[in-house]
Amino acid sequence: FALTSFSQVNTRSGTDFSFAWKNCRKLPRFPLLDVSNGTNFDGAWNECYELTDFPLLDFSSGTNFSDAWNSCKLDQQSVINVLTALNKVPFAQLTSTATRIGTSLGPVSGRNTKTIEAALRGIQAIDTLLNSLGTDGVAGKGWTITFD
């Protein structure tokens, strides 16, 4: 799709955002929307190839984030925003504890690299979600996060 921007829309009542913005290939930034009642974010921003700027959203009702940011180009602050938001989701309500985050931080293919480690060092959200960044990939506390 050729969507490059959109204005503020009322998403407050929305609960299922699965694939809502999938294939918005030219969208560089996502607006600050109220998605606090959203539960399903499966593939929501999947294949948004130009998406670099992503705000800190309230995902506290979320249950599924599978492939939510797959193939995006999120910058460092946007990755921090996503991880911080995911950190606030009550673990017990999740039906899926895996997500894929596309990033402009360099090729990482789901493994611990110096690029990701440097970008996320000191970020409490990643420590809480994963416990540590191990050489066997990013895993811990039940989450699996793959960085593209």
Residues 6+ apart with CB under 8 A from 38: 11, 14, 15, 16, 17, 59, 61, 62
When pLDDT is averaged across residues 72-101 and rounded to a whole number, the result is 77
Inter-residue contact 44 to 16 (CB < 8 Å): no
Average pLDDT value over all residues in the chain: 76
- pTM as predicted: 0.75
Digit-coded pLDDT (tens) for 110-146 = 444 444 444 444 345 555 555 544 434 444 445 566 6
